[in-house]
């Protein structure tokens, strides 16, 4: 077989590994739809933030499809904030539209500040509980102890 007559393109296509397109899916169990929104919880403010799909998947964020983003309800006592970009109309339930440039940056800064703060450690001296004078310790068995009440001599 001549090298000139050989179909080189067939060899190249056969040897090239096939890479499937990586599409981010909805994080909800059993949902196979593509993700269009990202859910983030801000625990310090008791707020659930739903915004456009984040550029990168990060820990503690959840990618949601349109249906799940629209039907999302926050935990009891929490607020929900829905973010929009200036150029797009992502407002599934029209709860609280917020501009992503200003408010999301403020939330991200607040979360980062809280992450880098060193907690103040206050050491309290250990206190032993006061034992009343009318108690007398008895026999111990394992971690249990029998306590007898001492009779007051004035009671007669």
Could you report the per-residue pLDDT of 67-124, keeping only the tens digit for each? 999 999 888 999 999 887 655 555 544 433 334 456 666 777 777 776 666 666 666 6
In a domain, 34, yes or no: yes
- Write down the mean pLDDT value for the chain: 70
Q: Is residue 46 within 8 Å of 78, Cβ to Cβ?
A: yes
Count of structural domains within the chain: 1
In a domain, 138, yes or no: no
Q: Percent of the chain, pLDDT > 90? A: 16
Mean pLDDT of the 10-35 span: 66
In a domain, 49, yes or no: yes
Mean pLDDT of the 128-147 span: 64
Phi, psi of 141 (to 5 degrees): -140, 110
- What number of other Cβ atoms are within 10 A of residue 111's Cβ? 14
In what helix (H) or strand (E) does residue 68 lie, and over which residues does it extend?
helix 66-71
In what helix (H) or strand (E) does residue 15 lie, and over which residues does it extend?
helix 8-15
CA 64 to chain centre: 14
Report the candidate in 48, 63, 44 with the shortest Cα–Cα distance to residue 98: 48
In a domain, 136, yes or no: no
In a domain, 44, yes or no: yes
- What number of other Cβ atoms are within 10 A of residue 156's Cβ? 5
End-to-end CA distance of the chain: 122
In a domain, 73, yes or no: yes
In a domain, 152, yes or no: no
In a domain, 97, yes or no: yes
Phi, psi of 149 (to 5 degrees): -85, 130
* Domain around 92: 22-116
């Amino acid at each position: 077989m001549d090298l000139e007559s050989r179909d080189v393109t067939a060899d190249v296509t056969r040897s090239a590994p096939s890479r499937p397109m990586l599409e981010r899916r909805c994080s909800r169990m059993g949902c196979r739809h593509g993700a269009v929104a990202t859910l983030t919880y801000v625990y310090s403010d008791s707020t659930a933030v739903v915004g456009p799909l984040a550029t990168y998947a990060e820990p503690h964020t959840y990618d949601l499809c349109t249906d799940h983003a629209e039907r999302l309800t926050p935990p009891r006592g929490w607020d929900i904030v829905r973010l929009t970009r200036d150029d797009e109309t992502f407002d599934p339930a029209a709860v609280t539209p917020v501009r992503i440039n200003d408010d999301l940056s403020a939330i991200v800064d607040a979360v980062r500040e809280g992450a880098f703060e060193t907690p103040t450690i206050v050491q309290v001296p250990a206190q032993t509980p006061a034992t009343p004078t009318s108690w007398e310790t008895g026999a111990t068995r394992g971690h249990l102890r029998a306590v007898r009440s001492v009779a007051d001599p004035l009671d007669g």
